[in-house]
Amino acid sequence: MTQENLATDLAAPLTGVRVADFSRVLAGPYASMMLADLGADVIKIESPAGDDTRAWTPPVDASGRGTYFESVNRNKRSVVCDLRQPDGIAEARRLALSADVVIENFRPGTMERFGLGYAELAAENPSLVYCSVTGFGAGDGAHLPGYDLLVQAVGGLMSITGDPDAEPTKVGVALVDVLTGQNAVVGIQAALRVRDRTGVGQRVEVNLLSTLLSALVNQSSAALNTGVSPQRMGNAHPSISPYETFNAHDGPFVIAVGNDGQFVKLCEILGLPELADDPRFARNEQRVANRLPLRAILQERLTTEVVAHWVDAMTAVGIPAGPVNDVGQAIEFATSLGLGTVTEIAGTDRTSKQISNPITLSRTPTHYRLVPPDLGQHQGADWLSTKGTQ
């Protein structure tokens, strides 16, 4: 059997792992979708009203379904459990105890009120991996609502995003939720690895605020170690220059010079070789200190040609540069590079266009089996006896 044929015959990495997903909106559903793409059998457990994002429209896709919900709920089956009713709680408990993994993002204490907390479930199923996603942890911040915008504000991200003279600005997507979902995936898979060795599960906890502070990397490190918090710099970088947007004759583009050698090449392309020997600009530390006069000199030259001219010239000699694409252009660009960016999942009555899972595995690739489910689409218990199959 060739290596290529072997790849198609191997089971998906998480085949046989069942996930009872009680989460809603983004961080939890993103995590469970990543697990589902890797082969896990994900049961999306919803209230009678459904996941909030089912109603977050517009925009809608060709089938009239909200694109927000569709973006993080493929490869899942939906069942409805009304936790206000005893039979709903009983069904939810049965699903949770049938699973290898439980994911929930209620406020701390909510699952415990329904008899679905980690301690109670683990007492009956010690091998259970139980992931709780919160905004601010289960301690003193347990009462705070975990909304991405709120965390971007109190977590410092807005303070460093936007122009210096403009108001603090959020990132254009709920990035903290997405990063928290990724951390949940890492934690869950680590706990499953331990369970495979020991037979014992554990609780995994991730929260939005801790995720953001970790993701601030150099910015949080600077504040922690110098006592000085970084400020908004627009598209400039606090430690590298030139590393920002510039305007060509026909619009903006990015130059991301990462070292002194690239700066020398940039000066040559611009016909300004003397800048590379200028004591204000010869080394990166000097360029950072003199960023504004350097920017003015570069900007004057860059307006003489169009974006495509400069991007082609810089890319040819290894200087990172590129246009400021909109999202549609970005998808087209990734597709042109052969990255397999777009996947179409065929359902029984519709096709769902999806951005592909970004993880590529050479032997056990991700699979796309199910379009995002309608509310309660998979109601019924018959399939519970066939764990891990869909």
**Looking at the chain, how many residues does it have?**
390
Q: Which helix (H) or strand (E) holds 62?
A: none
Catalytic residue selected from 140, 177, 260, 312: 177
Question: Which residues lie closer than 8 Å to 86 by C-beta, 6 or more apart?
Answer: none
What sign does the dihedral 36-365-215-201 (CA atoms) show? positive
Query: Alpha helix locations (H) across the chain?
Result: 3-9, 27-37, 67-71, 86-97, 110-113, 118-124, 148-154, 175-198, 208-215, 217-226, 260-269, 284-289, 291-302, 307-316, 327-336
> What's the half-sphere exposure (Cβ side, CA atoms, 13 Å) at 20?
23
Say whether 177 is catalytic: yes
Q: Which two tokens stand for residue 376?
A: 């309660």
Rg value, the chain, Cα: 25
* Closest by CA position to 389, among listed 85, 39, 131: 39
Active site residues: 177
